[in-house]
Structure 1
């Protein structure tokens, strides 16, 4: 059986592992590097992800995969501190005392926020799918908690579409991030970088005889004569890990629904200084051309890199502004008093389909693993709802592979 997997991100690579055992598998990846949003830059002496990533204590499928690839001993648990940038100042919000000192919420506001954090894991997410996140927070915690705490978070993740996001996503995010102590969240990172996971998957797949074609986008998809034609080449089975609207575009099949998606523009900077007061993740309450400042070297040890590494995270709909890189860099340098000479290097990664926007009613939009003879899996699949993650992408890859193999046995 000949199988084509469109997309060399985590879901596609994971699905290819079991499928390569008994089939001829070809992976098509449009970019020159595998990994999708998990691709990395190679700098002098180290690797750094194009988009920041970490994992959580409950990611059992990820841990099993790392173990299988001989990478389990590389997994380390680090502290993820948080803060907010408000009125030109960074406010740490990691420890209970820092939260109590935060001047933009009252004591009652903070108590309500604490109760919600404790209750989040027990709430029924399915009942929140049709409830806007902003409406939920305003009703249960009040307007000030929304504007001073949650609105910057929603804006940093979803930009202009933040008012469409469901409470299911927000509560899920609170629940998954409740593994924290006085020093911050307990988050997992791969010592040496997540490129080790992608490279190990590639090496394993090549050893199984899988063909991997980088820099090769799928530009056409057609079903004819009992075969699927991808770029004119015939396959028995196709697994598409790209968004359904992209399947619609390359196939011309208008019956594939478009899901709400957003693009991401993530700038990575190498600096000679720390600008976020030792804090890993700073959400921007003040208006800026980025929603969060993520200082990777306040998470992973700085000595591994020899410089401070900062991400500026921005999301967009459609196309990013043509001058976005310079706009982000200029604003960052001005806002954080960083001279241009302190910036060793900068890169801007842009992905038009970085991930779904979990709008109200999203649960009803999730496609099945098989539609009209085509297999679909990716960040839009059910294991990635209501919050996408490496764990969800791995589960989606394993489940769709099982479905493909079951379908061939029928």
Structure 2
């Protein structure tokens, strides 16, 4: 069977890898590179992800894939430290002593936050789908904690949509990041970079006879189940990993309107650490980015020969004008970095970076097969209510299994 896969991100590549042994695979990718949000830059002698990445201790589908690709021995576990930037001051918040010294909240509120973190994994996020994160925090922790801690986080992550985001997302986010010890959060990374997953998936697909078409956007889809034409090429089955509403534009078939937002991520190679050894700093003060992720406070600087920092920003609609320049200027000003200390900078913008988990989102999740087209991606059930590499891999595996069975009833 000839299977056309739209999108060369992680879900699309995993699906193609799983099917290529027994099927004729054609993968269409708009960009000149594979990987989507897991793609990487090649800087001098090393690779670095376009968007900051790490994995978690419960990512079993990822670990299985790493073993299959011969990368499991490169998985390493490190401690990720955290901080909070407020009032032009970066407060490290990793150790118990640092948290106790943090002046933004009184001790009783810090205790409430700690209790929520401990309980998050026991809370069913699906039961919170129709409750906003704002309402949940106000009712359970109070207005002081919401205003000082959660509202800035929601604002930086979702902007004007922050009051619509469900508590399901928030609790899932807290739960997935609750594997903490006194020295920080336990996070995983592939020694040498996650680009190795993308490279080995590509090699596997090609070695099994698959075709990968880079810089080839899908411009038309016509036909029906088992009699499709994609860009006028005959296809027996279609797997789409792009946002469902974009698939609707191509095919004319009704698809759910999933709320999405864009991401703009600036990566900087710099002379010195300006983040006090902190890996992940959330910004309370308003600015052109909502988080500063100092990669080389997580992975040793010696592997790169310089410090690497990400500036993360999310947007709805179009990217704000001059955002890259504003990010760089703001970062230099706030963190005391001279412009000549920046070795290089890159900006990646994706207008479809990921779904916004608004209240009622669960009812929007499309079935695995719709109008005879198989659907897998960030919008899939496996990525609800918090998208991840793990969720994208599981979504890709699920669709591959559906096609292997040739039983769409098993994909609902």
| TM value normalised by structure 2 | 0.97
Superposed CA RMSD: 1.2
Residues 2-401 of structure 1 mapped to structure 2, 5 A cutoff: 2-223=2-223, 226-253=226-253, 255-401=254-400
State how far apart, in whole Å, the 1-side matches of 2:171 and 2:224 are: 45
Counterpart CA distance in 2 for 1:403 and 1:226 is 14
CA shift digits 1:329-387 (9 cap, x unpaired): 11111111211101110000000100000111111100011001111110100010000
Cα shift readout 1:21-58 (whole Å, capped 9, x = no counterpart): 21100111111110000010000110000000110000
Instruction: Using the TM superposition, give the Cα deviation of residue 299 of structure 1 relative to its aligned residue in structure 2, in angstroms.
Output: 0.4
Measured in 1, the distance between the counterparts of 2:221 and 2:322 equals: 34
Query: Within 2, Cα distance between the matches of 1:322 and 1:220?
Result: 31
Distance in 1 (CA, whole Å) between partners of 2:226 and 2:22 is: 20
SS of residue matched to 1:388 = coil
Kept after mapping to 1: 8 A contact 2:369/2:408: no
CA distance in 2, matches of 1:84, 1:222: 51
Aligned-partner Cα distance in 1 for 2:302–2:141: 42
Mapped partners of 2:297, 2:105: distance in 1 = 26
| Structure 1 gap segments, 5+ residues each | none
Q: Distance in 1 between matches of 2:256 and 2:383?
A: 18
Measured against aligned partners, the alpha-carbon deviations of 1:63-115 in whole angstroms (never above 9, x if no partner) come to 01101111001100011100110000001111111111110111110111111
Within 1, Cα distance between the matches of 2:321 and 2:249?
A: 24
Q: For residues 115-166 of structure 1, what are the alpha-carbon distances to aligned partners after superposition, in whole Å with 9 as ceiling and x for unaligned? A: 1111111112121000000110111111111121112222232222111110
User: For 2:226 and 2:145, how far apart are their aligned partners in 1?
Assistant: 57
Give the secondary structure class of the aligned counterpart of 2:406: helix
Q: Give the aligned length.
A: 409
Report if the CA contact (8 A) 2:228-2:237 is conserved: yes
Distance 2:167 2:157 in 1: 14
**Quick one: distance in 2 between partners of 1:401 and 1:335?**
48
Counterpart CA distance in 2 for 1:282 and 1:225 is 48
Q: Using structure 1 for the length normalisation, give the TM-score.
A: 0.98
- CA distance in 2 between counterparts of 1:9 and 1:63 reads 18
Gaps of 5+ in 2: none
